[in-house]
Homo-oligomer: A and B are copies of this chain.
Amino acid sequence: MISFASDYTTGAHPEILRRLAETNFEHLPGYGTDAYCESAKEKIRAAVGLPEAEVEFIAGGTQTNAVVISSMLSDHEGVIAATTGHVNTHEAGAIEYTGHKVLALPQKEGKLRAADVEDFLSSFFADPSREHMVFPGMVYLSHPTEYGTVYSKKELEEISSLCRGYGITLFLDGARLGYALECQGNDLSLPDIARLCDVFYIGGTKVGALCGEAVVFTRGNRPPHFINSVKKRGALLAKGRLLGIQFDTLFTDGLYFRISRHAIEAAHRLRGIFSSRGYEFYIDSPTNQQFIIMENEKLEKLREKIGFSVWEKYDDRRTVVRFATGWSTTDGELDELEKALLTVDSEK
**A positions within 8 Å CB-CB of B:** 1-3, 5-6, 8-12, 14, 17, 20-21, 23-31, 59-67, 70-71, 74-76, 78, 89-94, 96-102, 104, 123, 126-129, 131-135, 205-206, 210-211, 223-225, 227-229, 231-239, 241-242, 307, 310, 312-313, 328
* 8 more CB-based (< 8 A) A-B contacts, given A59-B59, A74-B225, A135-B228: A14-B21, A17-B20, A31-B132, A70-B75, A92-B232, A93-B134, A104-B104, A131-B231
Q: Interface on chain A toward B: helix, strand, loop, or mixed SS?
A: loop
Q: Residue among A76, A210, A312, A328 with the most chain B CB within 10 A?
A: A76
Nearest to A328 among chain B residues (CB) is B25
A78 adjacent to B93 (CB under 8 Å): yes
Contacts of A3 in B (CB 8 A): 27
Instruction: Please pick, from B94, B126, B224, the residue contacting A234 in the complex, using a CB distance under 8 A.
Output: B94
- Complex CA gap A108/B265 in Å reads 47
Residues of B within 8 A of A26 (CB): 10-11
- Given A8-B238, A231-B62, CB of A97 within 8 Å of CB of B99: yes
Residues B17 and A66 in contact, CB atoms below 8 Å apart = no
How many copies of this chain?
4
Chain B residue contacts of A21, Cβ below 8 A: 14, 17, 21
